[in-house]
Structure 1
Amino acid sequence: MVFTDGDTRLRDLQMSVLPDAAHVLDWYHLTRRLTVLRNVVNGKDAAEQLPSREHNRISGWVESIRWRLWHGRPAKAIARLDCLLNILDRPALADKAVVTRVRKLATGLRRYLNNNSDSLPDYGRRYRAGERISTAFVESAVNQIIDKRMSKSQQMRWSPHSAHLLLQVKTCVLDDRLRQDFARWYPGFPANDSTVRTTA
């Protein structure tokens, strides 16, 4: 089983390397899109620009889309998105600035779901069964290893080779293996902190 954020290039890579593995859209990445849509729909601008009845209706539709995705009903979630887009096209709503933003987010979510429709399991069932639904823990570990110096926002540029070497060292530090490696490479190097304290 391969989890991705839904990027088609990653899916192509998966098909070339592990063609028999099932592809699953990572729940974390899916909910990020849903959360942005929900925040806009439930935000101050939407409450101010939309009639109360329509605002409540649209908010309910967004929640029902999330519910359907969690419960393994992607076709029904996409159908709900289509209905939501039809509601947003009504003349009374179409010219509102917040509706333009909601329409853009809903259209992007629809395209995202269509591109990954074969990779949307019943997340709720998987979660209750103790099966993985996300790789957020892996991303957290990668972020810890890579750290701020390697982030895209930094001006420093790393060659792939240099980055690989740095990641090897950083991983050894996080796994508490660097001291043992040095002790193996350099006989007489203290193997652990207690040896250092004893020597001192």
Structure 2
Amino acid sequence: MQANQQIFFLSDGADNLRDLQFGMYPESTHVLDWFHITMRLTVLMQYARGLLVSDPEAGSKVLALLESIKRYLWHGNVVAALEHIDNCVMYCDDPELSYPSLKSLQKHLDEMYTYIRNNKMMIPNYGEMRRYGEPVSTAFVESTINEVIARRMAKKQQMQWSRKGAHYLLQTRTAVLNNELQDKFVCWYPGFQSDGKGPAMAA
């Protein structure tokens, strides 16, 4: 990797990972993974649907606010999203609410507010990025990796992977995704041609 190479980071916003990215490549593009935002919003909406059963009025208001929060974040409007999270907290602070999971809902709202506030510099206009064909999520990568590794690392599998084998496979897959595998083959095997035609083999 060249020193001046532009790098695009998609991450979950974890403190240690965010600090590492900015420390090593401060001039690169850093984007909060939309997949991780929607995961948190999905949990909040599940709680809000439970609140809807206990208190239809409060539940409908919180659900509507959560939908607005998702829309604001998709378009990169962090200020409005944080204001709406605050409004959700206000509705959930009503002492007359009898929702059994109210404390958990309040906890997740507080965590969501902190998560968005801490990563606000990494929240772009996702809708605009999508229109230009830029990636906004690693969901397909994470789900595929989780499924494959879970299957192959299982002890009941006849073709179980070793940790060393899994490590080598991930290195190979990374090289494929980065379009580097062909160059590596040329380096390892000088007779390898970039058009996919190797040297003629003796009969």
TM-score, shorter chain, exceeding 0.5 = yes
How far apart, CA to CA, are the structure 2 residues paired with 1:167 and 1:144? 16
Runs (4 or more) in structure 1 with deviation over 4 Å come to 169-173
In the TM superposition, residue 20 of structure 1 has moved relative to its aligned partner by 1.4
Identical amino acids, percent of aligned pairs? 33
In the TM superposition, residue 99 of structure 1 has moved relative to its aligned partner by 2.2
Alignment of 1:38-187 (within 5 A): 38-42=45-49, 45-50=50-55, 52-93=56-97, 96-143=99-146, 146-150=149-153, 163-169=163-169
Secondary structure of the 1:3 match is strand
Given that 1:71 and 1:125 are in contact with CA atoms closer than 8 Å, whether structure 2 keeps it comes out as yes
1:28 aligns with 2:1: no
Q: 1:6 aligns with which of 10, 13, 17?
A: 13
Count how many residue pairs are aligned between Structure 1 and Structure 2: 164
How far apart, CA to CA, are the structure 2 residues paired with 1:166 and 1:84? 44
In the TM superposition, residue 105 of structure 1 has moved relative to its aligned partner by 1.1
Tell me the amino acid that sits aligned with residue 110 of structure 1: Y
Residues 65 and 169 from structure 1, CA distance in 2 versus in 1: closer, same or farther, beyond 3 angstroms? closer
Residues 117 and 138 from structure 1, CA distance in 2 versus in 1: closer, same or farther, beyond 3 angstroms? same
Q: Residue 199 of structure 2 corresponds to which residue in structure 1?
A: none
Secondary structure of the 2:111 match is helix
Given that 1:145 and 1:170 are in contact with CA atoms closer than 8 Å, whether structure 2 keeps it comes out as no
How far apart, CA to CA, are the structure 2 residues paired with 1:131 and 1:75? 24
Q: Residues 24-71 of structure 1: CA distance to partner in whole angstroms, max 9, x if unpaired?
A: 0000011000011112212xx323321x22221111111111111111
RMSD: 2.8
Residues 163 and 49 from structure 1, CA distance in 2 versus in 1: closer, same or farther, beyond 3 angstroms? same
Given that 2:51 and 2:58 are in contact with CA atoms closer than 8 Å, whether structure 1 keeps it comes out as no
Q: Residues 108-148 of structure 1: CA distance to partner in whole angstroms, max 9, x if unpaired?
A: 11111011011111111111221110122332453366343
Q: In terms of mean alpha carbon deviation, does 77-86 or 139-148 score higher?
A: 139-148
Tell me the amino acid that sits aligned with residue 124 of structure 1: G
Tell me the amino acid that sits aligned with residue 66 of structure 2: V
Secondary structure of the 2:87 match is helix
How far apart, CA to CA, are the structure 1 residues paired with 2:150 and 2:107? 33
TM-score norm. by structure 1 comes to 0.71
How far apart, CA to CA, are the structure 2 residues paired with 1:33 and 1:72? 17
How far apart, CA to CA, are the structure 1 residues paired with 2:59 and 2:170? 50
In the TM superposition, residue 171 of structure 1 has moved relative to its aligned partner by 6.6
In the TM superposition, residue 96 of structure 1 has moved relative to its aligned partner by 3.1
Higher helix share: 1
